Amino acid sequence: MGLRIVHIVANNFLWRRDQCAGVEESVLLETGGRGKALSDLCLRPPVWVEGVGFTDYEMAYAVGGRFIAFPEYVCRERIVGAADYVCD
C-alpha cells in the first residue's frame, strides 16, 4: 500500500500509512528543506534524502520538486502544488 500525504497545510504535512499497525496519521513539519516526524510512522532510520544524504529522521522531505525518500519507498510529487503525493 505504501505511504501517502493526505493533506498539506502550509508547511505541515499530514501523512498516513495504512499498513502500519495502530498508526494511522502523523504530522511532519518541514524546516530548512527537511522535516522530522512528530510520531512513529513505522519507518526506521537512517533515511536517504535526495540532495541531502543520510539523515536520522524517520521521515524527511526534500523541497524543490526533488524526491521524498524513505527506506522502502521513493515518492515524487505528481502535480506541482497539489496536495496529492503517492509512494510506489
Banded pLDDT at 78 (limits 50, 70, 90): very low
| Per-residue pLDDT, 15 | 40
Predicted confidence band of residue 14 (pLDDT cuts 50, 70, 90)? very low
What is the domain extent for residue 71?
4-87
Number of domains within the chain: 1
Q: What is the mean pLDDT of residues 41-70?
A: 42
pLDDT for residue 2: 41
HEC string of the chain? CCCEEEEEECCEEEEECCCCCCCCEEEEEEECCEEEECCCCCCCCCEEECCCEEECCCCCCCCCCCCEECCCCEEEECCCCCCCEEEC
CA distance 87 to 74: 6
Give the model confidence (pLDDT) of 19-44 as tens digits.
343 333 333 433 333 343 433 333 43
